[in-house]
Amino acid sequence: MKRRSALLFAAALPALARAQPLVAPRRLDFPRDFGAHPAHRTEWWYATGELRTPAGAVFGFQSTFFRSRTGLAVGDPSRFAPRQLLFAHAALTDLGERRLLHAQRLARWNGDPLAPLAAAAEDDTHVHIGDWRFERAGAPGESRYRARLADRDAGFGFDLALAATQPLLLQGNAGFSRKGPDPSQASHYYSQPQLAVRGRLWRGGGDTEVQGVAWLDHEWSETMMSPDAVGWDWIGMNLADGAALTAFRLRRADGSASWAGGSHRAAGGPTVVFDAGDVRFTPGRRWTSPATAVAYPVEWQIDTPAGSWRVRARLDAQELDSRASTGTAYWEGLSELLHADGRPAGRGYLEMTGYAGRLKL
């Protein structure tokens, strides 16, 4: 098996070295596109959601695996050349204790999908760094994911099963999502909203059963951001009526929008895709991190063709200092979606990057 893996990997080296810029839509092919795309520069599998214990305690969780093509080993035939970087972020928002716990891992990867220490399979979602894993099984329309990780220094871990309850949501034009005025500034992007979650959460030496609702994004790109963009603001929200709301904007240094987009899918109904001029993010109250002195808007007004909503962080202090892995700090956390009149509409995650300095992918 090891010899066969080495031969297959050697044969694939020219393909791994070639970039494949995204310049036009294509039909996504599943289960293949559940897997990794090593020829592209940047990729992530991003799972977030809300968990509840039998006693009624509420937590937010994040499990994100990133892959980045280094470009450092082009033309180097060595099986040990670091062609890719894999890194992972994990976070737990503890609403009861009003604190965020987070951990991160980073590994060099030679591109072999069977590498034992860190790898990402190309035929389906199977990505791991050591004993941190994120995997998928089942037919494309009946995905079952599993997120497993633990960090004793950070004091938390979880083993969660995430089951699809709705079809895949292809973002943008059938999974081709524009991110800037140049068509090459784009990603292939799909979401899996309204995932039903069950599993166990380990916290402070004890563990408990949990259940909840989650959201998954898988996105890969060659050129994600236009030169004038410093970062983005993004929401993925599971609405209480079963709908799913995505909204994002690429943001300039002066706070204006460089590009925007998103979608709204009604429960059992059609998907409305937002064009660049359809989405408006208006920041509200800000919170300043005592660790980095960076100020983040933790309340927003978001206007879209499908409606207007307010977004409010469930906890202000949800900044992730990932300078040891991705080289930046950003805000990402459990948030609530409210109708314009303040009535609850749903729950999900808000992500804000580029406030601590221009994000470099």
Angle at the Cα of 237 from the Cα atoms of 232 and 238, rounded to 5 degrees: 160
The domain ranges of the chain are 1-17+27-224, 226-361
**Residue 7 pLDDT exceeds 50:** no
pLDDT of residue 324: 56
pLDDT at 77 exceeding the cut of 50? no
C-beta separation of 65 from 120 below 8 A:
yes
| Rounded CA separation 37/16 (Å) | 9
Separation between Cα atoms, residue 244 and residue 263, nearest integer Å: 8
- Rounded Cα distance between 140 and 212, Å, is 22
The predicted pLDDT at position 70 comes to: 80
Rounded to whole angstroms, how far apart are CA atoms 168 and 343?
28
Tell how strand 156-163 and strand 132-137 pair up. Answer: unpaired
- Lowest-pLDDT range, 214-228, 250-264, 339-353? 214-228
pLDDT of residue 24: 67
Q: For the domain bounded by 226-361, which CATH number is listed?
A: 2.40.370.10
Quickly state the pLDDT bin for 325 (edges 50, 70, 90).
low
Residue 66 has pLDDT above 90, yes or no: yes
Q: Averaged over 216-234, what is the pLDDT?
A: 91
pLDDT tier, 16 (very low <50, low <70, confident <90, very high otherwise): very low
The string of pLDDT tens digits covering residues 282-319 is: 999 999 999 999 999 999 999 999 999 999 999 999 99
Return the bridge partners of 230, or none: none
* Of 297, 259, 162, 271, the residue nearest 218 (C-alpha): 162
User: Quick count: other Cβ atoms within 10 Å of Cβ 7?
Assistant: 10
Establish whether domains 1-17+27-224 and 226-361 are of one fold.
yes
Q: Predicted confidence band at 226 (pLDDT cuts at 50, 70, 90)? A: confident
Task: State pLDDT tens for residues 229-278.
Answer: 999 999 999 999 999 999 999 999 999 999 999 999 999 899 999 999 99
Report the percent of the chain where pLDDT is more than 70.
88
Q: What is the pLDDT of residue 25?
A: 84
Q: Give the pLDDT confidence score for residue 14 in this predicted structure.
A: 38
Using an 8 Å Cβ cutoff, are 210 and 199 in contact? yes
Mean pLDDT of 184-189: 93
Instruction: Lowest mean pLDDT of 132-146, 197-211, 314-328, name the range.
Output: 314-328
What is the model's pLDDT at position 359?
A: 77
pLDDT of residue 83: 80
Place 80 in a pLDDT band, splitting at 50, 70 and 90.
low
Burial (CB count <10 Å: 0-12, 13-18, 19+), residue 77: exposed
Residue 35, pLDDT > 80, answer: yes
Q: What is the pLDDT of residue 4?
A: 33
DSSP 94: E
Average pLDDT value for the chain: 89
Residue 3 pLDDT = 31
Whether the per-residue pLDDT at 1 is higher than 50: the answer is: no
User: Shortest CA distance to 321 belongs to which of 333, 334, 330, 308?
Assistant: 330
Residue 73 tokens read as 């080993």
225 confidence band (pLDDT: 50, 70, 90): confident
* Rounded-to-integer distance, Cα 355 and Cα 351, Å: 11
State which CATH number among 2.40.370.10, 3.10.105.10, 2.60.120.10, 2.60.40.10 fits the domain covering 1-17+27-224: 2.40.370.10
* Weakest-pLDDT range from 39-43, 142-146, 197-201, 293-297: 39-43
**Is the pLDDT score of 90 beyond 70?**
yes
How does pLDDT run across 108-121, given as a tens digit for each residue?
Answer: 998 888 899 999 99
